Structure 1
Amino acid sequence: MYITIDLGTTNIKFVLWSSDGQIIAKRSIHTPMEKDKTINPLKLIEIIKEIIENFERKYRNEILGISVGGMAESGLLIDKNGNPLTPIYTWLDNRGEEELIILQKIGKEKIFEITGLKINPKYSLAKILWIKKHHKNLWKDSYKWLNAVDFINYHFTGRAVTDFSLASRMLLFDIRNKEWAEEILNLCEIPMEKLPEIRPAGSIIEEKEYAYVLGGHDHPIGSITLDLSKGLYDSWGTAEALLIHTSKPMLTEYIRRLGYSVGCIGEGLYYVIAGIPYSGGIVKWIKEKLGFELKINPTKTSGILFFPYLMGKENKDSEIVKAFLYGLDINTSLRDIEQSIWEGVFYETKSIVESLKENFEFEKIIISGGMTKYKSLLQLKANILDMPLNISEERELTSKGLAFLIAKALNKTIESFKEKNFLIIYPQNNTEQFEKAYLEYKKIKGLLGL
């Protein structure tokens, strides 16, 4: 049996897998996110230890391995005894934006050539620079900066190690050479010894009562269960990530200008990833902030446009554009506004899909994640994208990907952990109205420099 832990923005998912790919037990616990978008690391470990101990009491002699994956761009400082010195700063936290100005000395083009990323405060480097400036003694006395997933592994193994996919989201990783980027470290005066060792996902960290296998960033790890030779993976949870596999890092000017990211999972396996930072998260927003219920009509457009930049989107002039509605008149109803919100999310998805088609060939879209439970939304999405959607039978592919990594590391069969079962949702015959609205959506995006 294998234990997998998926640390998500909304929930922590624990799954106990049989070696033939069946789920034996499953638990989901709300992620202890604080109001300031940080996580208490001790509370996190307490939750994880309790669930693991429950699994061990019942299946101790049958567990062969454990692997942890989850959200990226989230980390903390620890001391030499492994005690946390800071909370876990998550990807929703933008502190460090001012400190990142130092990277202008290298230039955004070269930063992308080195790391595959654009300069953005959500990445680990921003938090590190903020701590260095505002908590100098804390930084001086610290031992390591670890990603949240790495901290969980460190607690159980005592080894400070991260994988390629999480390192790819730190703005510190030389993606071509798969090592820490010395030029960036030297400019920012960050000693390399304060960062963890880097290994490919699926490496065995340590073998104790069972093997601790290195997991990684949730979206890329989920993708390894899929055949993406001619497919695009849409991982749709709180955030939405659209991912393409490549055999080499696609560090092209086209990808950089689009603002997409390039990352690495293992030797010879890279990816291009784009997305909407707050896509599925809109369910919570419309319920808690707007008081809407999830009622939409997948067959008829609202007649207005919503631009879903709730966390801001940078345009070509480096200005941040926020979310807004366009086209309201005296006939607009609240139901129209709710409908338009989801249409806008899917128009944005469609614009990403179209841009990826300029450089990559794919014939199908595979979707997984918590948002696949909303069938009316999936139908609206298929109608707007005007493409069949292959819905993964397993919603939580990250967990399945982690089990895949354990099986592979232990030289066990991996076929059971390859996703093969899909529900196909086809677009209906009335897609022309959505296409017309989408063209207007694209026109306004162009005027805004997006």
Structure 2
Amino acid sequence: MTLVLGIDLGTSGAKSVLVDAHDRVIAEASAPLPLSRPQPLWSEQEPQDWWHAVVTTLDALHAAAPNEMAGVGAIGLSGQMLGVTCLDASDHALRPAMLWNDARAGAECVIVEEAVPDFADLVGCRAMVGFPAPKLLWLVRHEPQLLAKTRRILLPKDYIRLRLTGTAASDRADASATLLMDTRAGTWSPELLAACGVSAEQMPTLIASDEIGGGVRPELASRWGLTANTPVVGGAGDNMCGGVGAGVVEAGMASISLGTSGVYLVANDAFLPARGQGLHTHRHAIEGLFAQNGCILSAGAALSWVARLVGAEDVSALMQEVEAAALPVDETPVFTPYLSGERTPHDDAGLNGAFSGLNPGTTRIHLVQAVLEGVAMALADCHEALISTGAAIDEIALVGGGTSSRLWTTLVASAIGMPLRRSQAAAVGPALGAARLARLGIGGPLIADGAEQEDERILPKAAMAEALAAKKARFARHLALR
């Protein structure tokens, strides 16, 4: 029985999963990642830390399931999107990678858009902070000597591919979000590259999400008990892989990811460029489909923040306290989760988070639940923005670690006003999606034949929806007061 391996390089950690022929996750391992914010608006990680985290997960899988690792037929990669990794001629990182939630390049967004006529029609969205194109122009303007030494510019998961295989390649789905690619054509755009001060020679080869883009180096294959030159397919960004892991493989299907950020993805068979509301359209990992995206920058990140604020070392235990308290929504404060600015629907790096409606009876549990509610209302803003474009949403699947909370997912369903579908593998959705693409790359089915489906439906609650709707005006008032 051929197994496949999915590797997901997230922001807070790396996760690797072994998946059998029935799409069952039979083994998994994870490792945490540090994040640095050396200046206001900056967000960075060391690429070497990414590699160490991935190696840690694969070492753990080999130790726990050596026979299964020996049966791996292919590997798929998923990863946090939009990171800029600059490597020298020896493939050493020249600086920490600039991440998706790095907001330093606001001025460069304007310059990039003005340099390319009908920018959004070419790439799928407006230029926004956090995306690679303006960040590269920021490097041109602020660290030109570094960029001159740069031999390769890679996305985070593609740095892992380079370390695994020696191949510098990127899939067209993840690469379409760099804002350096002609999204329809699936090729790097000379016009966009020139506007950002980089060359085609610095960019990786583009391949399909299910296309083999190298084999595992012999010494690494030996370390993990893999077959020599185990194929590594293109994979995709974590948003697209999360969709594949949740079964979002046809137009009209959608997923909501509750990870470090919150992402609302809608699969569409037409390319619908986004020209406002912080929306963005890229290629999906499924050939012929595009992915319309709304994104809130602080979902799980906001939960982690409030846990630190209230002195909780164990976020899972804190969530159990909140669930057990069963506080009515109308008794909690209002929280706007703009801790790192916001993308959808505001496209404003200067927005701030805020609590309102505090009183002497407010407890730590009230604050934590308010954060969950704030994220749910922000995702409802994404829903409204997507619907306003004409997006047809038939069903919504849940992806990400936050989906393990019944309270949080019910808040999201109630805020949006639609039922949500949660599978047992929701927490490992991007890694599962990467594994599925790996299987497709070696001639197997994308979705396993006879895959066991044990999905749970999360239904909106009328009273909760009414209370959240009543809070929405106070939620929106924060924008007028800033």
Displacement of 1:223: 1.0
Aligned residue among 185, 188, 192 for 1:184: 192
Residue in 1 aligned with 2:235? 215
In the superposition, relative to structure 1, how do residues 366 and 419 fare at CA in structure 2: closer, same or farther (>3 Å)?
farther
Correspondent of 2:268 among 243, 246, 254: 246
**Could you tell me which amino acid in structure 1 is paired with residue 392 of structure 2?**
E
SS in 2 for 1:313: coil
Matches within 5 A, 1:406-421: 406-416=438-448, 420-421=453-454
Deviation at 1:323, TM superposition (A): 1.8
Q: Is residue 158 from structure 1 mapped to residue 160 from structure 2 by the alignment?
A: no
Q: Does 1:113 align with 2:121?
A: yes
Residue 123 of structure 1 pairs with residue 110 of structure 2: no
Matches within 5 A, 1:282-301: 282-291=302-311, 293-294=318-319, 295=322, 297=326, 299-301=328-330
1:72 equivalent in structure 2: 81
Establish whether residue 268 from structure 1 lines up as the match of residue 324 from structure 2: no
Distance change in 2, residues 1:385/1:132 (3 Å): closer
Counterpart mapping for 1:263-342 below 5 A: 263-265=282-284, 266-291=286-311, 293-294=318-319, 295=322, 297=326, 299-302=328-331, 304-313=333-342, 320-328=350-358, 335-342=365-372
Task: Give the corresponding residue for 1:437.
Answer: 470
Cα distance in 1 for partners of 2:395, 2:385 equals 15
1:423 aligns with 2:456: yes
Alpha-carbon distance change, 113 to 209 in structure 1, aligned in 2, over 3 angstroms? same
Deviation at residue 298 of structure 1 after TM alignment: 5.8
Gap regions ≥5 residues in structure 2: 216-227, 313-317
The whole-number CA distance in structure 2 between the counterparts of 1:221 and 1:284 is 24
Which secondary structure state, in structure 2, belongs to the residue aligned with residue 155 of structure 1?
Answer: helix
TM-score, scaled to structure 2: 0.83
Within 2, Cα distance between the matches of 1:42 and 1:69?
Answer: 17
For 1:30, the aligned partner's letter is: P
Q: For 1:241, what is the secondary structure of its paired residue?
A: strand
1:18 aligns with 2:26: no
Q: Kindly tell me: are residues 218 and 409 of structure 1, through their superposed partners in 2, closer, same or farther at Cα, counting changes over 3 Å?
A: same
How much does 1:102 deviate?
2.3
SS of alignment partner, residue 448 of structure 2: helix
Instruction: Identify the residue that residue 138 of structure 1 maps to in structure 2.
Output: 146
Residue 183 of structure 1 and its aligned partner are, at CA, apart by 1.9
Structure 1 378/298 Cα, relative in aligned 2: closer, same or farther at 3 Å? Answer: farther
Contact 2:15 2:57 in 1 (8 A): no
**Paired residues of 1:299 and 1:380 also in contact (CA < 8 A):** no
Q: Deviations over 1:58-102 (max 9, x none)?
A: 246422111221100113111233222222222233333344442
- Give identity over the alignment, percent: 22
Structure 2: how far apart are the matches of 1:187 and 1:421?
49
One-letter amino acid of the counterpart of residue 352, structure 1: C
**Farther off after superposition, 296-305 or 359-368:** 296-305
Distance 1:316 1:46, change over 3 A: closer
Cα offsets for 1:130-172 (capped at 9, x unmatched): 3333333332222111111111111222221111222122121
1:199 deviation in Å? 1.7
SS in 1 for 2:14: strand
Between the two proteins, the alignment pairs up a number of residues equal to: 445
Which residue does 2:223 correspond to in 1?
A: none
Letter in 1 for 2:281: V
Larger displacement relative to structure 2 (183-192 or 401-410): 183-192
1:87-130 deviations in Å (ceiling 9; x for gaps): 222223333334444225337x8221221132223112233223
- Matched position secondary structure for 1:427: coil
For 2:51 and 2:236, how far apart are their aligned partners in 1?
A: 17
- C-alpha deviation, 1:177, in angstroms: 1.6
Aligned to 2:382: 352
Equivalent of residue 371 in structure 1, options 402, 405, 414: 402
- For residues 55 and 261 of structure 1, do their structure 2 counterparts lie closer, same or farther at Cα, with a shift above 3 Å needed? same
Which moved further from structure 2: 205-214 or 411-420?
411-420
Bigger mean CA deviation after superposition, 312-321 or 33-42? 312-321
| Structure 1, 48-57 or 401-410: larger mean CA deviation | 48-57
Equivalent position amino acid for 1:356 in 2: L
Superposed displacement of residue 53, structure 1: 5.1
- CA contact 1:299–1:430 (8 Å) conserved in 2: no
* In 2, Cα distance between equivalents of 1:259 and 1:388: 24
Q: Structure 1 residues 196 and 275 mapped into 2: Cα distance closer, same or farther (>3 Å)? A: same
* TM-score normalised by the chain length of structure 1: 0.89
State the SS of the aligned residue for 1:274: strand
For 1:267 and 1:138, the matched residues in 2 are separated by 36
Cα distance between partner residues in 1 of 2:80 and 2:477: 32
**Contact 1:15–1:25 (8 Å) recurs in 2:** yes
Cα shift at 1:198 = 1.4
Other-structure match for 2:437: 405
Separation (CA, whole Å) in 1 of partners of 2:45 and 2:348: 30
The 1:140/1:393 distance shift into structure 2, 3 A limit, reads: same
Check the 8 A contact 1:215/1:402 in 2, yes or no.
yes
Match for 1:398: what amino acid?
A: P
Aligned mates of 1:113, 1:268 — CA distance in 2? 18
Aligned mate of 1:88, from 87, 93, 97: 97
